[in-house]
Amino acid sequence: MMPIEPQSWHRGLVARWWSLFRVGGPEVEYFRRFVEAGRPALDVACGTGRLLVPYVESGLDVDGCDVSADMIALCAAAAEAVGASPDLHCQAMHELDLPRRYRTVYVCGGLGLGSTREQDQEALRRLYEHLEPGGLLVLDNEVPYSDSAHWGLWPSGTRGSLPEPVQAPGDRRLGPDCDEYALQSRLLSLDPLLQQESWEINAYRWRAGELVAEETHLLTSNLYFMGEIVMMLEGAGFANVEVRGAYNDQPPTADDAFLVYLARRP
């Protein structure tokens, strides 16, 4: 069976929604500690700057990269608004080629999105090459069984309901421009053999109650279990790989929806 062609939805209205409403979260302060302990740092898949902008606002030396030009432009604007001008690069993780080397590289929610598994392995190798000797990679990843409803689609004979039906737009969010925005996603397919999902997202924008823009984008996502990521990190050259629970510095448990991986370049 052939994998689905990689797709990414992080552009256009989706990128704008991210910049307006995807803020905060436990990851911001969790990753900050690693950045403060080892700089310069690189935010890989930085998006619109959910982590990067608070860091550079407080004076931390952090660069960023993302595959989406729209995300990078919005991140630059957000950084400028707080008086910062970090070096930002529009590059895919598996094509990363920057002039600088870092004490800390972190990836928050980026591994496996819109890529092939071969590209994910190459991405880890590139991250290794961008670390100084002794530098630390901090990477989080959502476990495949985090959503009980979708985990129930893994056994044979359970995926007849896919693709999920199209639904009306979700709750509207009011932006600072007085426009309203909404996102609505649905699972199109799941392949347990390839450990790959395909998603569709519909993005909407209203002005004065009138729908003025609507976009549809696709996203492919590669799903990884803990042991796979540990082996991939070791295969990329990392040593002393440590796995922690969801932003809590505790040993991982089967109830953690996200796992955090710490890996050093020797």
| pLDDT tens readout for residues 196-247 | 999 999 999 999 999 999 999 999 999 999 999 999 999 999 999 999 999 9
Residue percentage of the chain with pLDDT more than 90: 96
Residues 6+ apart with CB under 8 A from 213: 13, 203, 204, 205
- Position 105 scores a pLDDT of 98
When pLDDT is cut at 50, 70 and 90, the band that residue 109 belongs to is very high
Torsion angles phi and psi, residue 81, rounded to 5: -65, -25
CA angle (26 as vertex; 146, 147 as ends), nearest 5: 10
Kindly state the average pLDDT of the residues 5-28. 94
pLDDT mean over 6-26: 94
3-state secondary structure of 142: strand
Q: Which two tokens stand for residue 264?
A: 């050093």
pLDDT at 97: 98
pLDDT band (50, 70, 90) for residue 119:
very high
Is the model's pLDDT at 4 over the cut of 80? no
In this structure, the chain runs to a length of 266
Higher-pLDDT residue of 5 and 213 is 213
